[in-house]
Each structure stands twice: as C-alpha cells, then as structure tokens.
C-alpha cells in the first residue's frame, strides 16, 4: 500500500494524472482495444490470451475486475480445453460489454466436442458469443455453416471477429474471414437479432462490404476491409480501412465508410455458396473518404459527425487526422477535407479512442496515453498526458474510455509474482499484461482536460 501511495504522489508532482495499477495476478489481462467498461463503469472485462499457451486459441477465460477493489473474477471458462501451438480449442477472446445490458460479448472458437467435425480455433472458425456478466453458460449469436449448399440463410461460412455493439445496442459489427472461398480476404459485417435467424442462434449475420478475390480486383474494387468501428449512436455508418485497387494497378489502404439504412432488412443479404461469396443486404452504400495512406482502427465519434484515423504527415510520420463523416480529401470545401490533429515528434499509430463528449481523443505515444483536444478552436490539437510517458517505461496500450468519460483504462506489461513469491512470465516469456486506470481531469465536464484550458 505504501508503494502505491508514493507512486501516486510522484505522478501528481510530475504534473500528470495519477495512473494506478488495479490488477496484479500472474496472468494476462488483455483489453484489446474493445469496449471494456460495464454500463455503470464499475467493472472492466478482458481475456487471458497467452497466459497458458501460444495464440488466441489458448485464451481460456473471459474475466472482469472491479475497479474500486481490484477483485478479479471469472465470467466464463469453457471446459474441457485443448492447448497447443497449432491445434487449440475453444479459444475465448476479445471481450466487450453490451452498452444496454449486463452481459459480455466475445469471440468463441469451436467446442472441444466439435473439433472432430469442424476443426480447431482459427480466424475462419469462430463466432460471437454472449454471457451474463455475473457468469453462467454462453449462448451463440451467429451460426457458422460450412456443410449445407447453399449456406443456410443468415449464417456465415467462416469466422466473425471484433464484435462491437452499436451504442444503442441494436447492431453488432464484426470483421469476417471466409472458410470456403479462401481467395477472398477479410471484410466487414454486421449482425442483428431477427425472428428469421437460423435455428439455434438469435442473430442474422451479413457482410456489409463486398470484396473481390485477392489479386483479381478491378480498379476501384476492394480486396480487404477491416480495422472498423461504428460512427454515431444507431449504427447507421461503419468506418473502415480498405485495400483498394487504383487505376494504375497499384493498391492503397484508404479510409472508407459503409452507410447502413436505419430500416435495413438484413435478411435481404446473400449467405453464399461453395462457389459464390456472400453479398450485403439491399441498401448499403460504400464511400471512399481518402485517397492517401490510412491506417489503424478507424474511430467514429458518438454524435456521428467525425471520423478519426491515422495518416502520414508532410514528413511521413503517422499522426491522427480527422475528417467529416460525409467528407472527402477531394472535396472543394476545406472543412470537409482531412485535418491533422496531432504533431508528436515520434508520431502515433495506436490507442485512438474518442472521449464520449467528442471533444477529446486518446492516443498511445511515447509509452504513455495522451489526451488530445479536438474541439474546433484555439485549443484544437493541444495535448495533456494522462499517464507517465518516456523512454524506459513499459508500453501503454489499448486504452478504453469509461462511459462517463471520467476514467481511462489501459494495459502495461508489469512483473508479477506467483503464490510462492517468484516473478513469473506469460507463455511467450514476457511480463504479464496488467490493467491500469487514470482519471481524466475535467472539473467542468466539457470533455477537455483541465490543464489544456
């Protein structure tokens, strides 16, 4: 306890918000750039990948920690399990809280009892599952069908990943990899609860972004779509990074958006066959926003007005840029074109998340987490570090804002001791990922860090 008090005092004296470690056990507490806070901001959820074995398939549990007390508890732990560098099952990872219910969504690989028929965990062999945050059995949301011809309507034939609820809880975005037609790369999809959902599950799954087979795209066509997130409250827009073929035959990773009507009939999608790839439901529209290099997980503001992403500045360094959700780098109106928001000497390429107010974004840079004001005006681009930063520190990664905007959580790798008091490391030989939180100093609740004002 004394160490924690001295540590906090030193941080405050240095002018930073006080970061504090809330997990200490010798296991990985992987936040993974997800929506980790419970609705009331009391808990954080995470997975335990690489604690007992290599790769995501060896993640054996979904857990939560109570922020105020540091008490950790298992929410879901399937049994039996198979741990192996190649063949593992089930594999449960990438946990997020439902924004409107007390439950957690995550990736679930095949049960051990299913592996003889459908194989082991892999990117084309996984689906979405939900469990009550208090614990209990999991229920599957989407159906994986690699047997029937054509594919069962509303099912998919591969793996869904990075399940993300829209803020109103009605739509679940995901990335998708196909098992039957392996010449197709990753794309972006969505699932919705439907009375027409396949038997045994609750949701109809569909891709949103059509893609061409790898190496066979025509100019203007996409061969990859991913690194996606919702823009706005109702899930009417999903931003993503797409690999597009240019007229000269080259490829560019650019920022795109897919528009999804509020009254969309998801059951008009095509679930594919052994010779035909899946197709989106009627009414979706894909728009290209940039024509230069773009990267990272594209992040939409909650009011649906702006999108943040990574692009290169004039010197070729990765920085945060913002663009109007209906803008373009070719728009004659400067207000609709990309605007550089960060100017870090060493750049930044991860940890991009919107504060709920829409006036600040977080980024990971210089081994710390920084808050950047993005409110238009004189404070735009000003920075306040919420954590320690600088050389010699463990990397700060995977930040997540609380729903109130008063806290930010993130991971650092830290030494941990087992029950015998011996320092131990994870399966890959690294210190375990631990969870830290830091307060957001915002006395007037305007979503801008007080030291910036």
Task: Decide if 104 contacts 86 (C-beta within 8 A).
Answer: no
Alpha carbons within 13 angstroms on the beta-carbon side of residue 344 total 30
Structure confidence by residue, pLDDT tens digits, 53-80: 999 999 999 999 999 999 999 999 999 9
Q: How far is CA 312 from the centre of its chain?
A: 22
Structure tokens at 450: 């007080």
d(CA 277, CA 73): 41
Across 283-301, average pLDDT: 98
Q: How far is CA 389 from the centre of its chain?
A: 23
d(CA 59, CA 46): 11
**What's the pLDDT at 4?**
32
Beta bridge partners of 45: 64
Structure confidence by residue, pLDDT tens digits, 141-172: 999 999 999 999 999 999 999 999 999 999 99
**What's the pLDDT at 442?**
97
- Residue 109: name the closest of 95, 96, 130, 123 by CA: 123
Tokens 């570090």: give the residue.
385
Across 274-286, average pLDDT: 98
Task: Decide if 161 contacts 188 (C-beta within 8 A).
Answer: no
Look at residue 91 and tell me whether its pLDDT is greater than 80. Answer: yes
Beta bridge partners of 259: 237, 285
Q: Can you say whether the dihedral through the CA atoms of 321, 322, 327, 331 is positive or negative?
A: negative
Across 259-288, average pLDDT: 98
**What's the pLDDT at 2?**
28
Using DSSP's 3-state secondary structure scheme, residue 114 falls into helix
Tokens 């929410």: give the residue.
75
Tokens 């906090």: give the residue.
8
What residue ranges of the chain are covered by domains with CATH 2.120.10? Answer: 28-361
User: What is the reported pTM?
Assistant: 0.95
d(CA 435, CA 399): 10
Helical ranges in 278-392 per DSSP H: none
Burial status of residue 225 (CB atoms within 10 A of its CB: 0-12, 13-18, 19 or more):
buried
Q: How long is the chain?
A: 453
Q: How confident is the model at residue 111 (pLDDT cuts 50, 70, 90)?
A: very high
Q: How far is CA 97 from the centre of its chain?
A: 12
d(CA 434, CA 422): 17
Look at residue 14 and tell me whether its pLDDT is greater than 90. Answer: no
Fold of 28-361: Neuraminidase (2.120.10)
d(CA 348, CA 351): 8
Look at residue 449 and tell me whether its pLDDT is greater than 60. Answer: yes
Look at residue 113 and tell me whether its pLDDT is greater than 80. Answer: yes
DSSP 102: S
**What's the pLDDT at 13?**
31
Structure confidence by residue, pLDDT tens digits, 376-427: 999 999 999 999 999 999 999 999 999 999 999 999 999 999 999 999 999 9
d(CA 283, CA 288): 17
Across 305-325, average pLDDT: 98
Using DSSP's 3-state secondary structure scheme, residue 265 falls into coil
Q: What are phi and psi of 404, to 5 degrees?
A: -80, -15
d(CA 199, CA 108): 18
**What's the pLDDT at 18?**
84
- Residue 173: name the closest of 162, 184, 157 by CA: 162
Q: How confident is the model at residue 272 (pLDDT cuts 50, 70, 90)?
A: very high
116 vs 89, 142, 300, CA distance in Å?
11, 20, 41
Using DSSP's 3-state secondary structure scheme, residue 42 falls into coil
- Residue 45: name the closest of 131, 104, 109, 116 by CA: 104
Which H/E stretch holds residue 44?
strand 43-47
């Amino acid at each position: 306890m004394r160490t924690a008090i001295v540590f906090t005092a030193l941080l405050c004296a240095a002018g930073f918000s006080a970061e504090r470690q809330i997990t200490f056990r010798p296991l990985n507490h992987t936040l993974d750039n997800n929506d980790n806070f419970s609705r009331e901001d009391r808990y954080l959820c995470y997975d335990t990948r690489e604690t007992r074995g290599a790769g995501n398939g060896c993640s054996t549990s979904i857990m939560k920690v109570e922020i105020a007390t540091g008490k950790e508890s298992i929410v879901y732990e399937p049994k039996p399990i198979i741990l192996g560098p190649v063949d593992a099952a089930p594999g449960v990872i990438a946990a997020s809280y439902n924004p409107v219910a007390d439950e957690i969504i995550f990736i679930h690989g095949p049960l051990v009892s299913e592996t003889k028929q459908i194989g082991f965990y892999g990117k084309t062999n996984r689906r979405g599952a939900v469990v009550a945050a208090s614990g209990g059995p999991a229920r599957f949301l989407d159906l994986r069908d690699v047997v029937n011809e054509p594919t069962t309507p509303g099912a998919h034939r591969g793996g869904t990943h990075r399940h993300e609820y829209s803020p109103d809880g009605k739509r679940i975005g995901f990335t998708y990899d196909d098992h039957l037609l392996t010449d197709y790369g990753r794309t972006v999809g969505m699932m919705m609860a439907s009375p027409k959902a396949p038997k045994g599950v609750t949701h109809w799954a569909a891709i949103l972004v059509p893609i061409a087979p790898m190496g066979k795209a025509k100019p203007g066509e996409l061969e990859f779509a991913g690194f996606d997130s919702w823009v706005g409250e109702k899930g009417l827009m999903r931003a993503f990074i797409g690999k597009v073929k240019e007229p000269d035959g080259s490829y560019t990773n650019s920022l795109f958006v897919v528009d999804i009507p509020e009254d969309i009939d998801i059951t008009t999608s095509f679930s594919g066959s052994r010779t035909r790839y899946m197709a989106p439901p009627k009414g979706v529209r894909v728009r290209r926003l940039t024509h230069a290099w773009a990267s990272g997980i594209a992040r939409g503001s909650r009011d649906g007005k702006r999108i943040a992403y990574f692009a290169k500045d004039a010197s070729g360094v990765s920085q945060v840029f913002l663009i109007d959700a209906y803008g373009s780098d070719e728009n004659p109106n400067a207000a609709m074109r990309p605007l550089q928001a960060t100017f870090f000497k060493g750049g930044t390429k991860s940890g991009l998340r919107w504060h709920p107010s829409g006036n600040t974004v977080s980024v990971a840079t210089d081994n710390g987490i920084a808050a950047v004001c993005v409110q238009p005006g004189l404070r735009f681009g000003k920075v306040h570090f919420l954590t320690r930063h600088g050389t010699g520190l463990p990397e700060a990664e995977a930040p997540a804002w609380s729903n109130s905007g008063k806290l930010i959580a993130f991971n650092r790798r830290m030494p941990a001791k087992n029950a015998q008091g011996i320092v131990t490391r994870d399966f890959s030989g690294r210190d375990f990922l631990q969870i830290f939180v830091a307060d957001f100093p915002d006395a007037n609740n305007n979503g801008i860090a007080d030291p910036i004002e």
